[in-house]
Chains A and B, each alone.
Chain A
Amino acid sequence: MSALIKNNLKLFFRTKYLLFSFLLFTAAVNAFLAKEFYNLLIHNDVLYYLGESQMLSIVYFVFFVFISYEYIAKSKNVNLSESISVINNGKFIFYISKLAALAIIMLIMTLNILIYNYAAYFFEGIKLLPFALHIFLNNILNIFLVSLAGACIGTVAALYLSKFQAYLLIIILTVLISPISEFMPYVLFMGYGINIYPLMDVLNILPPNLNWVSEALYGLSIEPYRWNLVIFWISLLSSSILFKISNKKRKIINYISVTLIIISVYNFYFYMHPGSIVKKDYNPMNYIAFDELYYSKNVQKEEESGFAISSYDMKIEIDRKLENSVSLLLDESEVLRIYKFTLYRNFDIKEVRDKNNNPLEFMRHGDYLDIYNSTNEKLERIQIVYSGYSPVFYSNSQGVLLPGCFPYYPVEGYKKIYIKEQSSYIPIIRDCTSEFNLYVESSIDIYSNLERDGDKYYGEAQAVTLVGGFVNEKKYNNCTFYGLPLERLETENNLFRIDDILEPYKSSLIKDEDISLKKIKIFQSTVIFSGKMADNGIVSFDDHIFTYDLSEDCIVQGFAQIYIPYDANKSKIKKEFFNYILHKEKVRKIPKAELENSVIYEFRKLFLEKIDELGENYVMEKTYVFLNDKNDTRDSEAFIRSLN
C-alpha cells in the first residue's frame, strides 16, 4: 500500500495541471503568510496572525474539492477503474491509496501554515502552552479537516456523478459554503422573512468570526459543535465513498461503512445541540442580533422585588453550556405571593423547589422569572435548576465570560438588561452584597472575584464574575490583575503605582481613603465586553473592576465608579464628568467652531457652558451628587439644564 501511495504522489506531481495549480497555490499561500508575518512585526498580535492564517481555510477547501475531483475523475475517464476492479479489492486499494496521497498533501500544506503560526508564537514570546495547543487544534480543524471534507466532496462527485452534474455540484457547494453567499440568508430573512440559516449552517464548516476582532480570552472558535459538523460530513461522505469503491462481498468494509454512518449521525446530533458558541455573523439567532432584535420590542421592565437574596449556593457545570443548580437564601420582610427575579431569557428553567424540596409554580416571561408562593409562609429558601447560554457572554469548554453584571444567575427584582439605543448591555450592579458559595465544574481554569479553593469559590460580594480561557492571574504589589496574555496591555506597569495614580483623587472621587487594593481585583475587559457593555466596558463592583486598559484614566474611573450607582439615564453626564476630571486640558482645547457645529459634542457644549457660567467646582460637585443620588431619576439633559 505504501508503494502505491508513493506512486500516486508521483503521479499527482507529474500531472502538469495538478502540479501547476499546486505550485501556484502554495506560492500564493506562502506569499500571503510571509507578508502577514512581516506585519506581525509591527502589530505584535499573534492571535490576529492566527486568525489571518485561518482565513486560508476557504481557499484550501476550494482547492481540494476541485483537485480531488480531477484526480479521481481522471482514472474514471480512462476506464482504469474498470480494469482494476477485476483485481481482488483492486478498486478499494486503488482509491484508498489515491485518497491517502491527497491526505498526505493536505498534511504537508497544513504543516506549512502551522510552521508560520508557531514561528509567530515563538517570535512573540507568548509562552502560553494552552495557546500553543489552540494553534494546533485550529489548524487541524480549519485547515486539515476542512480540506479533507473538501476532498471527500470532490471524490463523491467524481465517483457518483457525470461530469456536468459534478461540476454543478462542486461549484454550487463551494459558493454556498464560502463567504460569497454569507449575506444571502440575511437578505432573505430580513427582506422576505424566509429563514434559511438552519440549512446554510449545516454547510458552514469554515471558521467563523475571522472578519471580526478576535476575542483574546477565547481565541478563535473551535467549539465542539464545529468538530461535530466537520466530522459528520467527513464520515457521511467517506461511507458513501467506501460503499462505491468496495467489493460488496467484503463484510469488513460494510461494517466500516455502517460505523461511519453511525459516527455521522452521532456527530450530527451533537452539532444540533451546540450550546454556547461565539458566532459573529448576520444570523439573527447569533451574537448580538439575538438580543438586538428581541429588545427592539418593548419587553423590559424595572421593578423592585420586595426581598433580598442573602446567600447563593451554586453548583455550576460548564461544558457546552452552563448548567446551574442554585439555592437562594432569601431575606423577606413579609410573605410574598410572587417572587420576582431577573435571569437572562436564554436560560431554561428545569425546576423550582422550596426549602422542603416541593416543586413551586413558576412563570418565565422573557428575562423575568416569577415564582409563586401558594402558602402563607415566607419561602425562605428557593432552589432553581436551569441551563442555557448567552450568545454574547459565552460559557463553554473553550472560554467563559460571565461577568457579575450580567444576569446569568437569578437576581432579585425585574431589571432592564439592554439599552437598545446604544446596542449595549446595562451592567446590573446590586446595591447590596450576598454570601456566595460556588462549586464550578469546568475543563478550563476559572477565575473569579471570589476567594478560591480548588473548584470552590466563596465570599461576600455584590456579584460573582467568572472568567476562563486565555487569562492569567498576576499580583502587583497586592493588587490582583487578571490579564489577557494574547492582548497584553502596555500600561500594565501602572499597576505597580496604583496608589500614586489614585492619590490626587482620594478626596474628591475615591471616598474610601483606605481603599484596600488587596480587596479589589482588576479584570481586563475583552473585546466583546468592552464593545457590548455600556460605558465602554469599565464596570466597577465593590470588590472588582473590569477595564479595557490600565491607563491612569481608566484606573481612576474604574475605582471612582465603585461608589457611583449605575444608571443608564445618567451615562452621558457621567462620561463628561470623568472626561473633564481626567482630561480637562484636552476637553478645553476642542476648537469652538467644532464644539458649536458637531453633533457629537452637543451635550459636551452644554456641559462646558454651565461650567463657564456657574463655575467649575459648583458644577462638578452638583454632578457628583446627582450621579450618586439613586432617588434622582432625571436624565442627563434634564439635570444639566436645571443647573443654575
Chain B
Amino acid sequence: MDVRLIYYDFKNLKVYYFIPVLIIFLFIPVLSIGMVKIYGIEIAHIMIFREAEKYIPIMSAWWTTFIFREYIEGDGNELLYCVNKRGKLKAFQIVFIFLWYILHVSIVFLVGSIFWNNILAEFIKTVIQCFFFTSSLYMLIYTLKSTTISFMILLIYELFSLFINSEITHFISIFGDNGTLIMNIIGSKSLVVLFISIVFFVIGVYKNKRFY
C-alpha cells in the first residue's frame, strides 16, 4: 500500500481536510483557555476533558468518511478494488488515517501535559475512543455502502451515550464519567472498548473483502 495514494486522498478533500485540524488546534484550545479563565486551571482540567470528549472521538471519523465516499460511492470506484487483489483491502488506509489523526491529537495532549498530570491516561482513553469510532465506521461503510448513514449512526450513538440519561445508554457508552481518570478505570472499561473495536475492525475487513 502506497502512502502517496493517501496523500492524494487527502488532497481530494481540499478545504474539508482542515475541519478536524481546526477543531483540534483552534477550537479545543480556545475552549480550554476559556474554561481555565472561568474555573481556574485545576478545576478546568476535568471540564476540558469532558468537553473534548464530545468532539475528538467523533472527528476521528471525519477524514475516513470524506475519503471513503470515493471508495464506496464514487463513480467508477471498482477501479480502486480491481487493480490488484491486495488492493481490495483498504484496512491500511483506515489505519493510516487513524494514526495521522492521533498524531494531531497527541500534540494537543502533549501541550496539556505541561499544565496537568495524568494526561497519559486521558490520552490512552481518547485513542481507544477514536479507534472505536474508526473501526465502527469501517465496519458500517462496507456493510451499509453509505458513508453518510454510517456517520449518522456514529453521531446518534454519541448523542445517545452522552445526552440521554438511561441505564441502557450508560451501559453502551464508551465515554468516561466525570472525574480524573485513573489507570484502573482504563483497565476496566477502555480495554472492553478496545476489544469491541478490534472485533468491529475485523468485521470491517471481512465486509471490505466482500464489497465486490
Q: Which residues does A use to contact B, with CB under 8 Å? A: 16-18, 20-21, 24-25, 28, 31-32, 35-36, 39, 52, 55-56, 58-59, 62-63, 65-67, 69-70, 163-164, 167-168, 171, 174, 178-180, 183-184, 187-188, 190-192, 211
Contact = CB atoms under 8 A, between A and B. Distances in A.
Contacts of B136: none
A191 B34 CA distance: 4
Interface residues of B, number: 38
Contacts of A180: 54-55, 158-159, 162
Given A62-B156, A190-B38, A17 B144 contact: yes
B169 A32 contact: yes
B160 A59 contact: yes
Given A35-B168, A167-B151, A180-B55, 5 more contacts: A52-B166, A63-B152, A167-B148, A174-B155, A190-B38
A21 B141 CA distance: 12
Main SS at interface, chain A: helix
B151 A171 contact: yes
Chain B CB count within 10 A is highest, among A31, A66, A188, for A66
A184 B31 contact: yes
Contacts of B146: 17, 70
Given A62-B156, A167-B148, A187 B35 contact: yes
Given A59-B159, A168-B19, A178-B159, A163 B152 contact: no
Contact of B166 (A35, A59, A174): A35
B65 to A, nearest CB: 7
A17 B54 contact: no
Nearest to A20: B144
A32 B149 contact: no
Contacts of A62: 152, 155-156, 159
Contacts of B65: 167
B159 A52 contact: no
Contacts of A178: 159, 163
A163 B66 CA distance: 10
A249 to B, nearest CB: 33
Top 4 closest A-B pairs, CB basis? A191-B34, A66-B152, A17-B144, A187-B34
Given A66-B148, A70-B146, A184-B31, A163 B162 contact: no
A268 B155 CA distance: 29
Contacts of A191: 33-35, 37-38
B16 A168 contact: yes
A24 B149 contact: no
B145 interface: yes
15 contacts: A16-B145, A21-B149, A31-B168, A32-B164, A39-B167, A65-B152, A66-B149, A69-B148, A164-B16, A167-B16, A167-B148, A167-B151, A171-B151, A190-B38, A191-B33
B163 A67 contact: no
B168 A190 contact: no
Contacts of A21: 144, 149, 152-153
Interface in B14-70: 14, 16, 19, 31, 33-35, 37-38, 51, 54-55, 65-66, 69
Contact of B69 (A28, A163, A174): A163
B58 to A, nearest CB: 8
B188 interface: no
B84 interface: no
Contacts of A65: 152
B165 interface: yes
A207 to B, nearest CB: 12
B33 to A, nearest CB: 7
